[in-house]
Amino acid sequence: MDHLILSKPGKNTNCTIQLTGSKSESNRALILNALSGGRVKVKNLSSADDTVTLAGIVEEVKGERLKVKDGDQAILELPVINIGPAGTAMRFLTAYFAVTGTEVILTGTERMKQRPIGILVDALRSLGAEIDYVEKDGFPPLQFKSSFEQKKDKISIRGNISSQFITALLLVAPSLPKGLELTIEGELTSRPYVEMTLRMLQEAGIEHHWKDDVIKIASQEFKDSEITVEPDWSAASYWYSIAALSEKGSVILPYLKKDSLQGDSRIVSIMESFGISTEFTAVGLQLSRNGNSPKGTFFDLKDCPDLAQTVIVCSAALGHNATFTGLETLKIKETDRIAALQNELAKIGVSLNEDHENYHLDCSGLHFPDKIAISTYEDHRMAMAFAPLALKINKLEIEEPQVVGKSYPSFWEDLKKAGFEIE
């Protein structure tokens, strides 16, 4: 399907939506399951395409079907594993293949070949891994060699490009013969994702020690354990935006927890500023409008970059001028999300202007045409962040709507449950 047209005849929204499992938790759990030889079990895995892809690869690797046999014959060619657009899985598998000495080539989409990985490769090489770049230095595809011998246990890594590099190293750390002492240099971006990793390792029986910029994990065994993946808070954020743009109503999202491992649960406090109250009830999280008009004017999203599109588009649609910071990493995600937001917000007369580390949202020209078409740039979050605009625009065309599959395959079906019409 090259596009769909979204409309919302009634402006009240009342629904209960069962969200799929967290993509971030699921991807970590799959790596822990593989490294622990199945001792760490996983429940409620996400149905996100990225997780399904990673699960399939991990299954193949566990079954050793990827191993190239030399025997009497010369090795013909290495297995090529294509991770598609899944950045988290790309980074986690890089560490996994490196330290398990799995001889493969790991590649992804054209966009994946533009997403940096050099910092992680350098770190793994200094630990002793043999990894080559197949095309361009610093970027996928990567080629892994069949052996790994740990050379050292103390390494440093820059923290401000992607926390996924740090998580990737932490996940494999307990399986390293000498363990790992990781020093994070400079600022740490997306910090809650590192905390999530350490908390999940803890659930799997792995101790760590984190003081200032140094995280230590000794070589140790996983324990028999079971990880239950919580629903995805990044996915929940689109429902917050829908509630904020609806006239009235309430949305119930079962099984989301107050004490979540996911940093994107910060959407609760961010959306307080946009007039949405959250209650944790017996049936799940219930969000509803409290009648207050938007009030916050400065939002730091360094800890929760995946919320940026949701919050910026919602603020724009409410005509609420605000300043956002902590958006540096958005340029190297599924697309350059800053450029994508600027292009698409211009269609409703809103601009997002860079000013050193800040971005100012200027809604002075806000208008809602009867019909607009939103481009999605192969980015699930562009499609989902703009979809709530159907509450303001009669016919909202979303191009390449299947992009949502990356993290939230049932997104359009769920919108129908909430009274959206889709042509």
Ligand X SMILES: C=C(OP(=O)(O)O)C(=O)O
Is residue 309 close enough to count as binding ligand S3P by CB under 6 A? no
Binding residue (CB under 6 A) for ligand X from 381, 387, 388, 393? 381
Q: Is 137 a catalytic residue?
A: no
Binding residue (CB under 6 A) for ligand X from 306, 344, 400, 414? 306
Binding residue (CB under 6 A) for ligand X from 54, 86, 268, 276? 86
| CA 93 from centre of chain | 15
Nearest Cα residue to 311 out of 354, 353, 266: 266
Binding residue (CB under 6 A) for ligand S3P from 305, 388, 401, 405? 305
Using the contact rule CB under 6 A, the part of the chain among 29-37, 162-170, 315-323, 396-404 near ligand S3P is 162-170
Catalytic residue among 50, 306, 379, 414: 306
Cα distances (angstroms) measured from residue 367 to each of 161, 252, 323, 388, 404? 36, 30, 20, 15, 26
Is residue 266 close enough to count as binding ligand X by CB under 6 A? no
Binding residue (CB under 6 A) for ligand S3P from 153, 303, 306, 400? 306
Query: Vertex 352, ends 349 and 358: CA angle to 5°?
Result: 160
Nearest Cα residue to 384 out of 344, 423, 346: 344
What track of x and - describes contact with ligand S3P for positions 325 through 364 (by CB under 6 A)?
Answer: ----x-----------------------------------
Using the contact rule CB under 6 A, the part of the chain among 8-16, 38-46, 161-169, 265-273 near ligand S3P is 161-169
Binding residue (CB under 6 A) for ligand X from 117, 407, 409, 418? 407
Q: Which does 381 bind (CB under 5 to 8 A by kind): ligand S3P, ligand X, none?
A: ligand X
DSSP H or E stretch at residue 27: helix 23-35
Alpha-carbon gap, residue 131 to 356, rounded angstroms: 36
User: Which positions make up the binding site for phosphoenolpyruvate?
Assistant: 23, 87, 115, 164, 337, 381, 406
| Nearest-approach distance from CB 177 to ligand X, in angstroms | 29
Q: Cβ contacts of residue 82 below 8 Å, gap of 6+?
A: 107, 108
User: Which positions make up the binding site for 3-phosphoshikimate?
Assistant: 23-24, 28, 162-164, 190, 306, 333
Is residue 88 close enough to count as binding ligand S3P by CB under 6 A? yes
Alpha-carbon gap, residue 51 to 59, rounded angstroms: 12
Q: How are strands ordered across the β-sheet holding 214-217? A: 154-158, 180-185, 214-217, 209-211
Q: Are 235 and 32 in contact (CB under 8 A)?
A: no
Cβ closest to ligand S3P, residue 8 vs residue 381: 381
Cis peptide before 141 (omega within 30 of 0): yes
Paired with 284 in beta bridges are 281
Alpha-carbon gap, residue 93 to 141, rounded angstroms: 12
| Nearest-approach distance from CB 304 to ligand S3P, in angstroms | 9
Is residue 382 close enough to count as binding ligand X by CB under 6 A? no
Catalytic residues: 306
Q: Which residues contribute to the site for ligand S3P (CB under 6 A)?
A: 24, 88, 162-164, 167, 189-190, 193, 305-306, 329
